[in-house]
Amino acid sequence: MQLDPRAKMLPVCLMTSLAIIRNSTFELFVILILALSLAFLVRASLAKVFFKLRHLLSTFLGIFIVQLIFNRSGEALLTAGNRVIVTDSGLENGLGFVLRMMIILLCGTVLATSSSQDTVNSLVQLKLPYTLAFMVITAISFIPLMGREVSHTLVSLQLRGINLKKIPARQKVRAFTYLFFPVIMQTLDKAQELSIALDLRGFRSGFKRTSRIKLRLRYTDWLVMALSVLLFIMALWV
C-alpha cells in the first residue's frame, strides 16, 4: 500500500518512543508485531534489508548472549550445580535489547520505502525549513554510500595482495585502521564536494523554493495515523 511519508513518520515516531519508554518483554514484542505489520503494509523489502544487515544481526545476538551470561541480578533460571548461569533479569534485558533494535530496524525500513524527494516534501509541509529537511535526507543517503566505500576498500586491500583471513590476531586492530581511514576520508571528501557543488548551483540563494508536487493525505493515511495515536494512548494508559 502507498502511504504518505507523514503517515509513516507518525507511527514510526510513536513506536520508537514506546520501545524506549516500555521495558516489559511482552510489550516490546507487541510493538515489534505492530512494526512488522506496518512494514508489510507498506511492502518494505524486509528480506533484502535483513540480508544486507546480517552482520549487524550477529552483533545483536552477541550482545544478547553477553546480557544473558553477565547479568547476575534477578531470579536464577538456569543453574549448573551451585553456579547461576542465566537469570530472569539477564534474559529480560537481553531480549529487550534485541527487540528494541529490531523495532528500530523495522521502523527505518518503513521510512526507507518513501523516495527522498517525497520525504523532503513531507518534512517541508510539516513546516520544517527546506535546508534542514534536505540536510536530513542527504545525511541518510550517506549511510549506503559508506557501506559501498567499505566494500570498495576491502577489495582494494585484497588487490594489494593482503589475505585478510590470514592476518595475525595482533595485527587485526591495525588492519581496521587501514580499512576505516580511507572510508572516512572518502566520505568527508564526498561531503565537501557535495557542499561546494550545492553552493555553486545557488542553493539557498535567497528565493523561496517552490515545488510542483504537493503531497495530500488520503483516507488510508488518516486511518493509519489515527490508529497509531489511539494505540499509543492505549499503551500509555495500560
Partner 1 sequence: MIQLQNVTFAYPSHIQQPVLSHLSLNLRLDICTGLIGRNGTGKTTFGLLLMGLLQPVDGNIYLNGKNLKDSPLHQIGSQIGYLFQNPRQQLFADTIIDELLFPFTLQQTDSCEVRKRADRLLTLFQLDQNRNTNPLSLSTGEQKRLVLAALMMNDPDYLILDEPTNGLDQESRGILGNLITERIMMEKGLLLISHDQPFVNQHCHSVLSMNEKNVREVACAT
Site for partner 1 (CB under 8 A): which residue of 71, 186, 187, 220? Answer: 186
Q: Rounded to whole angstroms, how far apart are CA atoms 48 and 105? A: 13
DSSP state of 58: H
| Three-state SS at 215 | coil
Residue closer to partner 1 by CB (options 155, 238) is: 155
The reply on whether position 214 binds partner 1 by CB under 8 A is: no
Q: Which residue has the cell 507498506?
A: 42
Residue closer to partner 1 by CB (options 43, 152) is: 152
Site for partner 1 (CB under 8 A): which residue of 182, 217, 220, 232? Answer: 182
CA 138 distance to own-chain centroid:
15
Q: Rounded to whole angstroms, how far apart are CA atoms 201 and 182? A: 28
> SS3 helix, strand, coil % of the chain, rounded to 5?
75, 5, 20
The reply on whether position 174 binds partner 1 by CB under 8 A is: yes
Residue closer to partner 1 by CB (options 157, 191) is: 157
The reply on whether position 158 binds partner 1 by CB under 8 A is: yes
The set of residues, in sequence order, having a beta carbon less than 8 Å from that of 42 and lying 6+ positions away, is 1, 2, 3, 8, 110, 113
- Per-position b or e across 57-67, b if 16+ CB within 10 A of its CB: eeebeeebeeb
Return the ∠ at Cα 145 (arms to 160 and 178), rounded to 5°.
30
The reply on whether position 143 binds partner 1 by CB under 8 A is: no
Residue closer to partner 1 by CB (options 193, 199) is: 193
Joined grid coordinates for residue 126: 510539516
Site for partner 1 (CB under 8 A): which residue of 63, 140, 157, 191? Answer: 157
The reply on whether position 43 binds partner 1 by CB under 8 A is: no
In angstroms, what is the minimal distance from the CB of 49 to partner 1?
19
The reply on whether position 189 binds partner 1 by CB under 8 A is: yes
Residue closer to partner 1 by CB (options 189, 199) is: 189
Residue closer to partner 1 by CB (options 115, 156) is: 156
Binding stretches for partner 1 (CB under 8 A): 152-153, 155-164, 166-168, 171, 174-175, 178-179, 181-182, 185-186, 189
